Amino acid sequence: MEKLRVGMIGAGFISHFQAAAIAQIRNMEIAGVTSLQGAEEFAALVRQRNLGPCQVYPNVTELTKNVDAVAIYCPNYTRIAIMEEIVAAVKAGAQLKGLICEKPLGRNVKEARRLVELAQEANLRTAYFENQLQMKPIKAQMKQLEPQQRTMGPLALVRSSEEHGGPHEPWFWDPTRQGGGVLCDMGCHSIAVGWYCLTPLGKPLTFLQPQEVSCELGLLKWGLPYWRDKLLKDRGVDYTKTPAEDFCTGMITYKNPETGQIVKAQFTNSWMFEKQGLRLFMDGMGPGYAFEINTLISPLNIFIGDAAAEAAADAESALEKATASRGLLAVQYNEADLYGYTDENAEAAEAFLQGRDAFLPLSYGLEITKLVMAAYLAAERKKTIDLTDPVIQKELETYIPAIQQGKGRDVLPMKG
Ligand SMILES: NC(=O)c1ccc[n+]([C@@H]2O[C@H](COP(=O)([O-])OP(=O)(O)OC[C@H]3O[C@@H](n4cnc5c(N)ncnc54)[C@H](O)[C@@H]3O)[C@@H](O)[C@H]2O)c1
């Protein structure tokens, strides 16, 4: 079987997760990596696990020249410079079959649009990696409920949330580098899930037309003095000066252009989730049918008593973003597959080897960025945003949320 030889840019959390996914598929191997830090360790691990020859390259240009596809797995604030280097290498003769970019595509619409344009300039096939649309539970509910949808009509309400106790690296907490707080980081997942699940069978990804967005943001935990101090001490990020939201919830209304039906998707995300680990919760209501997904329900529970917990060091070994290391814990033993990483890699490899864009091209990521920005605007203005208004559409092109500008104090109520 032909394998897509992928080169990763970045050797951090997501690169390791994607390596665990690639271990489960047959049409991709990790041919190389370049990263500011961690490249040698990552390459050694890849080779040891037989996931590909994984050479370490000194920079993006050299990597691009030596692989079939590059995957942008480095922080959000590095996107444009990295992409410009990839495109320059392609223009200079590098033969790329495709380009993968992790979510979020950009910190704002201007950045996301620039990435789309750069990919077009180099005539690249692309994949925007929004793993949750590739989750097997999502795909299975769609398949299972196909007859109900055909006879009764599509879903009318979807609620989607991703919540955990907060990210692992300081740059995620810094709104100027990451793009905001939890809405930019994880709202993009939940907004995409809502839009996708509501879309009637067989219709394109952007068939349903976004009409309105409302949103509320909160700094409910990490703005409190104890947690703020801890954040400063542990991550070097000062939320007295540049706070970001640790909670968001909102509603997006869509219109079916053929039937005129109005449907709604609610999103909720938090970095203040105090349960067993990361929870993805999605449910959908159709006329006479429904689905529900909860990733904290696993066939495997383990119990760790106090004495055993004290002997074990790593709180994250049980479940991604676990905040507890003792008691009764739910364990998802194949998170890479559950969250959709295996399927997104297999699908992208197949698409690029056939010379086409993947299921979600970068242009889809741009549409999600627009919705995320509209949600920030709604929260800042404390009013519902009309997405059909040309003035709003124009405004979103250059809008930078106050939180992303480092002015979160002006929009997030904080004590002290
Ligand atoms: N789909 C998901 O659920 C999911 C989960 C986690 C992260 N992500 C996304 O993946 C991206 C990376 O996140 P992460 O958690 O792996 O971050 P991380 O901080 O753990 O790792 C980032 C890696 O990039 C390297 N790096 C930093 N700047 C670089 C540069 N200029 N050139 C080359 N390498 C550079 C770092 O040395 C590090 O190895 C982010 O965009 C994030 O949103 C997605």
Instruction: Tell me the C-alpha distance between 213 and 215, whole Å.
Output: 7
Q: What is the mean pLDDT of the chain?
A: 95
CA distances to 221, 222, 242, 381 from 410, in Å:
18, 16, 10, 12
Q: Give the residue-averaged pLDDT of 108-117.
A: 98
Q: How many whole angstroms from 186 Cα to the centroid of ligand 1?
A: 14
Q: DSSP secondary-structure letter at 364?
A: H
Q: How many whole angstroms from 14 Cα to the centroid of ligand 1?
A: 6
Q: DSSP secondary-structure letter at 303?
A: E
pLDDT in tens, 143-175: 999 999 999 999 999 999 999 999 999 999 999
Instruction: Tell me the C-alpha distance between 405 and 242, whole Å.
Output: 9
**Is pLDDT at 340 greater than 90 in this prediction?**
yes
Candidate from 70, 74, 111, 129 with most ligand 1 atoms within 8 A of CB, to mutate: 74
Question: What is the rounded radius of gyration, in angstroms, for the C-alpha atoms of the chain?
Answer: 21
* pLDDT at position 225: 95
40 lines ligand 1 (CB under 6 A): no
The model carries a pTM of 0.96
pLDDT confidence bin for 223, thresholds 50/70/90 = very high
Strands (E), 222-326: 247-255, 262-270, 279-286, 289-294, 300-304
| Tally of residues, the chain | 416
pLDDT confidence bin for 314, thresholds 50/70/90 = low
Q: How many whole angstroms from 391 Cα to the centroid of ligand 1?
A: 35
19 lines ligand 1 (CB under 6 A): no
pLDDT confidence bin for 105, thresholds 50/70/90 = very high
385 lines ligand 1 (CB under 6 A): no
* pLDDT at position 326: 83
Q: Are 194 and 375 in contact (CB under 8 A)?
A: no
Query: Rounded to the nearest 5 degrees, what angle is found at the Cα of 183, between the Cα atoms of 181 and 186?
Result: 100
pLDDT in tens, 191-214: 999 999 999 999 999 999 999 999
165 lines ligand 1 (CB under 6 A): no
DSSP string covering 107-136, please?
A: SSHHHHHHHHHHHHHTT--EEEE-GGGG-H
- Going by their DSSP bridges, the two strands 55-56 and 209-218 should be labelled as unpaired
**Is pLDDT at 318 greater than 70 in this prediction?**
no
**Is pLDDT at 115 greater than 70 in this prediction?**
yes
Task: Report the nearest-CA residue for atom 6 of ligand 1.
Answer: 14
- Going by their DSSP bridges, the two strands 98-102 and 55-56 should be labelled as unpaired
* Atom of ligand 1 minimally distant from the CA of 11: 39
Q: Nearest Cα to 20, choosing from 348, 336, 318?
A: 336
115 lines ligand 1 (CB under 6 A): no
Q: How many whole angstroms from 281 Cα to the centroid of ligand 1?
A: 24
pLDDT confidence bin for 310, thresholds 50/70/90 = confident
pLDDT confidence bin for 330, thresholds 50/70/90 = confident
Instruction: Domains for the chain: give ranges and CATH numbers.
Output: 4-132+341-361 (3.40.50.720), 136-338+370-410 (3.30.360.10)
Q: Are 33 and 44 in contact (CB under 8 A)?
A: no
* pLDDT at position 321: 61
**Is pLDDT at 316 greater than 60 in this prediction?**
no
Instruction: Tell me the C-alpha distance between 8 and 305, whole Å.
Output: 39
Q: Give the residue-averaged pLDDT of 317-328.
A: 68
* pLDDT at position 307: 86
Cis peptide before 137 (omega within 30 of 0): no
73 lines ligand 1 (CB under 6 A): yes
38 lines ligand 1 (CB under 6 A): yes
**Is pLDDT at 251 greater than 70 in this prediction?**
yes
* pLDDT at position 198: 98
Helix (H) or strand (E) holding 85: helix 79-91
* pLDDT at position 416: 57
Instruction: Tell me the C-alpha distance between 176 and 405, whole Å.
Output: 6
* Atom of ligand 1 minimally distant from the CA of 74: 24
Instruction: Tell me the C-alpha distance between 196 and 207, whole Å.
Output: 10
**Is pLDDT at 308 greater than 90 in this prediction?**
no
